[in-house]
Structure 1
Amino acid sequence: MKWFVFVLSLCSLAIAREFQLAETCDKEACQLPDCRCSSTDIPGGLLPRNTPQFVVITFDDAITVSNINTYRDVLYNRRNSNGCPAGVTFYVNHEYTDYTLVNELYNQRFEIALHSISHKTSQTYWSRATYDDMMREFGDQRIQMAHFANIPFDTMRGVRIPFLQMTGNMSHQVMADVGLLYDGTWPTIKYADPGLWPYTLDYASIQDCMVPPCPTASIPKSWIKPMICWFDLNNVPCAMVDSCFHVPDGEDDEGWFRFILKNFERHYHGTRAPFGFYIHEWYLRANSGVKRALIRFLDLVNSLNDVFMVNSGEVIDWVRNPVPVNEYIRQGCKPFNPTSCPISTCGPLRATHNNMNYWMNICNVCPRVYPWLGNPLGQ
């Protein structure tokens, strides 16, 4: 209950707050670990050959019995060349999610991040979202995810807004107020080669605004992890792999492997900005050649001594404290504490927003009604 009081108090404060327009970045004042100007410069002034090449695989949307087998086939039991478990980020929305499987993914040491409670299909809803809307979608979802999946509250540090629809300043202010670290929503074409490194919103961003409205306010310590676009076979940019138009046939694993490698090498042979493979699971399930090519690519990544498959939050951690690749290898693996999942199968649960019945698998006691906006725990 104290979390609801806390959230409501934040909402009241935010309504009265006026956003301060961000100024051009002052490099002398903006210093790591908590501030970084938007820039293609490698953090810490490192040379490319001394910089770890991070590969970030992300999946969006609900975690279900329909997609968990793909994750088990492609991602489980991978390790980087330094011996540490390979990282992946799942941006999870609430509706239809099996929280027992979220717990399973967490216990594989993958990152669980937020993708909203409602995942409403109206982009206008997201583009015009208020502070209160975003608090209910993301501030409350963090509470919801921790409760139903039985995972630590503070391990959820990132956000991706549905349809990559920016909300101006609102989502970032919510993130700052509830202690979320980074946003992974914002694509860039202009800064794809060389790539744009993660930065904070203390000062004005140089990043191109592909899906407005983009943030304009000074919001200290709110990190942006840019989605550096790929380029398809006709050199057309695409933020998500499954949105690329001119691509090899879905069964052509050799063609897809070369396609992935071409986009990867632009990073690896350049300034080594993080390389993202952003996708929805259905695309791998529907195109077996893409799935085989991804497995082959990840096998390559896991064999290279200067390339590391990590989650989005780990990229931000490195940018805040950049070290050369030889030192990064010696840092060792992060400690991890698994969590249990006392499984409950719940339903039918009536949803007040659409009058439908839902069933849920959770790691907790069953809620009274189907959880939704304004009632994230279904009390």
Structure 2
Amino acid sequence: MKGVALLILLLVAFTASQEELPLADTCDPEACQLPDCRCSGTSIPGGLQARDTPQFVLLTFDDAVNVVNIETYRNTIYNRRNRNNCPAGVTFYVNHEYTDYQLINELYNNGFEIALHSVSHMTNQTYWQEATYEDMTREFGDQIIQMAHFANIPSDSIKGVRIPFLQMTGNASFQVMADFNLEYDCTWPTVSHINPGLWPYTLDYASIQDCIIPPCPSASIPGPWVIPMITWRDLNDTPCSMVDSCLAVPSTEEEWFQFILRNFERHYFGNRAPFGFYIHEWYIRASVNPHVGRALIRFLDLINTLYDVFMVNSQEVIDWVKNPVPLEEYIQRPCKTYVPTFCPPATCPVVAEHNENTYWMSICNVCPRVYPWLGNPLGQ
């Protein structure tokens, strides 16, 4: 019944009339103040000096979670702790199709953040480029209910969005985020603001961020935060938003380790904007690129020993930016806590109405009538 009630609330928002949004004005720093508003820019939140600023490292994985990739996650990120003895954070941007929701529950219970990557992960990039408010409601507003229901995790723990192919949708996705209490987006790359890097900001006012994959938002949309995807530079100095999209890359473990460090040090010795290691699991899989996976583990082993570097999830970055405190105070903060949830397992063969395929779903709930999809996220 709880899932049905949530679905009704989403449907109400889905059918609500959408007024023309006002264009965003140039940011007024006097009017735009933390914790609810921040102008786009490279200044460190709270006016801190770089040496007094925690260096956050964002390791994120995109796409479905299933038996194919869970061993990589268990071997790479489980049981890590930062120097302050708090658990290391990772964010998973998860799409629905082929996801094992019992494993989502496992990730959540190990302290990792679960965020949204759409219901359909439609491969037609034009679909995302031209997506309407209603499209994004079905893809992300409905996915909150879907994820919470089938993985048995709290719906209010789901706060983030990354759109497939990093294809921006103009104002639509941010409107949906504002209406469905989603707090941040991590889809938008920047090439122009990498040294110094662009810190997270809100869309109350116009953004200075370069629009790499248009359409980018143009309206004033209070509420949602942008975590800019600060691009790496490959060996030819070509920008790449995802690590696996870099073209000129090293060929050995040691070279990869040094390659990661060079991109990290641009942040660490600069304005300490969050350093993103944005990746798809297949790229570091032992059977595909074992040297890359080993280099990543070496890098994580290194930063987990540094007193001023913290491997955190995306939501933790936003929490700090809202209330920036100096490094020494941050180190003394108690670790975040959460309540693990139970997963009553069920495995269900269900037929999809949109393509007539049979999917085997591993879930933490009762089996749906049909395969959940757009417009029917619970498969009722």
TM range (shorter): over 0.9
1:268 equivalent to 2:271? Answer no
Q: Offset of 1:7 from its aligned partner?
A: 2.0
Q: Distance in 1 between matches of 2:21 and 2:12?
A: 18
Aligned counterpart in structure 1 of residue 218 of structure 2, from 213, 216, 238: 216
1:12 equivalent to 2:15? Answer yes
Counterpart residue type for residue 292 of structure 1: R
Q: Secondary structure at the match of 1:276?
A: strand
Q: Distance in 2 between matches of 1:40 and 1:218?
A: 20
Give a deviation string over 1:217-266, Cα, whole Å, max 9, x none: 000011000000000011000000000000011xx110000000000000
Report the counterpart of residue 351 of structure 2 in structure 1: 350
Report the counterpart of residue 105 of structure 1 in structure 2: 107
CA contact (8 A) 1:14 1:131 kept: no
- In structure 1, runs of 5+ residues without a counterpart are none
Q: Offset of 1:2 from its aligned partner?
A: 2.7
Alignment of 1:51-90 (within 5 A): 51-90=53-92
Q: Offset of 1:336 from its aligned partner?
A: 1.4
Q: Distance in 1 between matches of 2:171 and 2:84?
A: 39
Report the counterpart of residue 93 of structure 2 in structure 1: 91
Q: Secondary structure at the match of 2:153?
A: coil
CA contact (8 A) 2:197 2:271 kept: yes
Report the counterpart of residue 117 of structure 1 in structure 2: 119
Q: Distance in 2 between matches of 1:244 and 1:275?
A: 16
Report the counterpart of residue 160 of structure 2 in structure 1: 158
Q: Offset of 1:102 from its aligned partner?
A: 0.4
CA contact (8 A) 1:184 1:226 kept: yes
Aligned counterpart in structure 1 of residue 42 of structure 2, from 37, 40, 43: 40
Tell me the C-alpha RMSD between the 2 structures: 0.7
Aligned counterpart in structure 1 of residue 145 of structure 2, from 120, 127, 143: 143
Counterpart residue type for residue 373 of structure 1: L
- In structure 2, runs of 5+ residues without a counterpart are none
Report the counterpart of residue 300 of structure 1 in structure 2: 302
CA contact (8 A) 2:175 2:221 kept: yes
In the comparison of the two structures, how many residue pairs are matched? 375
CA contact (8 A) 2:55 2:310 kept: yes
CA contact (8 A) 2:351 2:370 kept: yes
Q: Offset of 1:10 from its aligned partner?
A: 1.6
Counterpart residue type for residue 373 of structure 2: W
Counterpart residue type for residue 7 of structure 1: L
Report the counterpart of residue 2 of structure 1 in structure 2: 5
Counterpart residue type for residue 336 of structure 2: K
Report the counterpart of residue 377 of structure 2 in structure 1: 376
Report the counterpart of residue 256 of structure 2 in structure 1: 256
Q: Distance in 2 between matches of 1:357 and 1:76?
A: 32
- Percent identity between matched residues is 70
1:206 equivalent to 2:208? Answer yes
CA contact (8 A) 1:23 1:203 kept: yes
Q: Distance in 2 between matches of 1:56 and 1:116?
A: 20
Give a deviation string over 1:69-116, Cα, whole Å, max 9, x none: 000000000000000000000000000000000000001100000000
TM-score, scaled to structure 2: 0.98
Q: Distance in 2 between matches of 1:67 and 1:308?
A: 24
Q: Distance in 1 between matches of 2:147 and 2:14?
A: 20
Counterpart residue type for residue 3 of structure 1: L
Report the counterpart of residue 175 of structure 2 in structure 1: 173
Q: Distance in 2 between matches of 1:129 and 1:235?
A: 33
Q: Offset of 1:140 from its aligned partner?
A: 0.4
Q: Distance in 2 between matches of 1:8 and 1:342?
A: 27
Q: Distance in 1 between matches of 2:164 and 2:154?
A: 23
Q: Distance in 2 between matches of 1:96 and 1:12?
A: 29
Counterpart residue type for residue 192 of structure 1: I
Q: Distance in 1 between matches of 2:155 and 2:26?
A: 34
Report the counterpart of residue 366 of structure 2 in structure 1: 365
Q: Secondary structure at the match of 1:303?
A: coil
CA contact (8 A) 2:7 2:145 kept: no
Q: Offset of 1:332 from its aligned partner?
A: 1.3
CA contact (8 A) 1:194 1:267 kept: yes
TM-score, scaled to structure 1: 0.98
Q: Distance in 2 between matches of 1:75 and 1:361?
A: 23
Give a deviation string over 1:198-224, Cα, whole Å, max 9, x none: 000000000000000000000001100
Structure 2 CA distance for partners of 1:14 and 1:201, relative to 1, 3 Å: farther
Q: Distance in 1 between matches of 2:100 and 2:223?
A: 32
1:277 equivalent to 2:280? Answer no
Q: Secondary structure at the match of 1:271?
A: coil
Q: Distance in 1 between matches of 2:342 and 2:97?
A: 22
CA contact (8 A) 2:54 2:308 kept: yes
Q: Distance in 1 between matches of 2:11 and 2:114?
A: 25
Q: Distance in 2 between matches of 1:12 and 1:220?
A: 21
Counterpart residue type for residue 281 of structure 1: E
Q: Secondary structure at the match of 1:63?
A: coil
Counterpart residue type for residue 113 of structure 1: A
Alignment of 1:325-336 (within 5 A): 325-336=327-338
Q: Distance in 2 between matches of 1:13 and 1:372?
A: 22
CA contact (8 A) 2:162 2:186 kept: yes
Q: Secondary structure at the match of 2:271?
A: coil
Q: Distance in 2 between matches of 1:320 and 1:172?
A: 19
